[in-house]
């Protein structure tokens, strides 16, 4: 099994599309870091002397809960979902899958080796990128003599670990779907169709249960909780601390709620993919 994993790792490293996607993810993190640092820079003496000039102060808590940290983690997961689809799609598009099965006919082992490689790659790359990202913001905050809340740095690093696990899960999901549909284009079409069609159906039916929303569950997983409001609810009103109203107007998703939701998606797609790969003919 280890030899098979080593072979798949070599195949992954030599995939140009995969290398480009990983490079794009790293460049994106650098660009976001530069943007955040620039947009939160202290006011110059000339700016401070000008009326109405305001610039937000760098806050690790805000960046983690609703800022660049949350957005970067989600985009990285999407990038590595594409890595999973590209890695599997190339084998089907080139017809090399049949040649691989001549060397290792046990299809379950082949599937697991490929999935393990893309998941491990996604986890390691995202963990390194996000660790460097949060370390950089921490260093900037210290350099600017900004007061940092207790446990803010630890919470940021924790989100980095959670985001790396999310990226690994997204990569396995993309890989599993592509192994099921045997086409990168078909997988991307199904994903876009489900997201767009689901959003339209969600809005048409007037469903406001955040527990069924992919974004709410991802946000809850990365941040700790996600709060959504039914703005058409008659009992909802603005209070001194924001929207307030009865429980029927407010939906709260916790990290404990999100783990079964997200994990169920990965398990269902993986189970269907393995079953189809073991039973269907390979051209």
pLDDT at 249: 62
Give the model's pLDDT for residue 274: 93
- Buried/exposed code over 251-262 (b: 16+ C-beta within 10 A; e: otherwise): bebebebbeebb
Neighbour-count burial for 174-186, b at 16+ CB within 10 Å, e otherwise: bbbbbbbbbbbeb
Q: How many domains does the chain have?
A: 1
CA distance 134 to 68: 10
Half-sphere exposure of 258 (CA within 13 A, CB side): 22
pLDDT (tens, 9 = 90+) of the chain, 283 residues, equals 777 778 787 888 888 888 999 999 999 999 999 999 998 888 777 766 776 867 788 899 999 988 899 999 999 999 999 999 999 888 888 878 877 777 777 888 889 999 999 999 999 999 999 999 999 999 999 999 888 888 999 999 999 999 999 999 999 999 999 999 988 888 888 888 777 776 676 666 665 666 778 888 999 999 988 877 665 666 555 555 555 555 556 778 889 999 999 999 999 999 999 999 888 877 7
| pTM of full prediction above 0.85 | yes
User: Using CA atoms, how far apart are residues 176 and 181, in angstroms rounded to an integer?
Assistant: 9
Range of the domain at 93: 2-279
Query: b/e per residue, 217-231, with b = 16+ CB within 10 A?
Result: bbbbbbbbbbebbbe
Distance of CA 179 to the CA centre of its chain: 20
What secondary structure does DSSP assign to 47-112, as a single string? Answer: HHTSTT---PPP-HHHHHHTSHHHHHHHHHHHHHHHHHHHHHHHHHHHTHHHHHHHH---HHHHHH
Task: Give φ, ψ of 63 to 5 degrees.
Answer: -65, -30
Alpha helices (H) in the chain, listed in sequence order: 2-13, 16-39, 45-48, 60-65, 68-94, 96-103, 107-143, 152-181, 184-205, 214-223, 255-279
Residue 234 is classified by DSSP as T
Q: Are 232 and 134 in contact (CB under 8 A)?
A: no
Burial class (CB in 10 A: 0-12, 13-18, 19+), 282: middle
pLDDT of residue 83: 93
Query: What distance in Å separates the CA atoms of residue 188 and residue 264, rounded to the nearest whole number?
Result: 20
Query: Among 18, 25, 217, 37, which Cα is nearest to 126's?
Result: 25
Token pair for 169: 């899960």
């Amino acid at each position: 099994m280890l030899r098979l994993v080593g072979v798949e790792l070599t195949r992954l490293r030599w995939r140009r599309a995969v290398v480009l996607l990983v490079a794009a993810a790293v460049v994106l993190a650098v660009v976001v870091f530069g943007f955040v640092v620039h947009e939160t820079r202290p006011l110059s003496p000339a700016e401070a002397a000008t009326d109405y000039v305001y610039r937000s102060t760098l806050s690790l808590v805000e960046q983690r809960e609703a800022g660049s940290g949350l957005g970067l983690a989600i985009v990285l997961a999407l990038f590595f979902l594409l890595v999973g689809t590209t890695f599997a799609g190339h084998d089907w598009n080139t017809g090399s899958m049949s040649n691989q099965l001549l060397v290792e006919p046990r299809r379950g082992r082949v599937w697991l080796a490929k999935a393990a490689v893309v998941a491990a790659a996604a986890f390691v790359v995202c963990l390194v990128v996000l660790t460097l990202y949060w370390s950089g913001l921490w260093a900037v905050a210290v350099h600017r003599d900004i007061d940092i809340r207790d446990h803010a740095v630890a919470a940021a690093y924790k989100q980095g670990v959670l985001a790396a696990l999310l990226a690994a899960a997204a990569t396995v999901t993309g890989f599993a779907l592509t192994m099921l549909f045997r086409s990168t284009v078909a997988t991307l079409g199904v994903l876009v169709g489900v997201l767009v069609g689901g959003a339209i159906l969600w809005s048409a039916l007037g469903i406001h249960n955040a527990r069924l929303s992919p974004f709410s569950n991802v946000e809850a997983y990365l941040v700790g909780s996600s709060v959504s409001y039914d703005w058409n609810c008659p009992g909802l009103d603005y209070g001194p601390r924001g929207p307030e109203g009865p429980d029927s107007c407010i939906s709260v998703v916790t990290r404990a709620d999100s783990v079964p939701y997200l994990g169920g998606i990965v398990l269902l797609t993986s189970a269907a993919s393995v079953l189809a790969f073991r039973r269907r003919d390979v051209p």
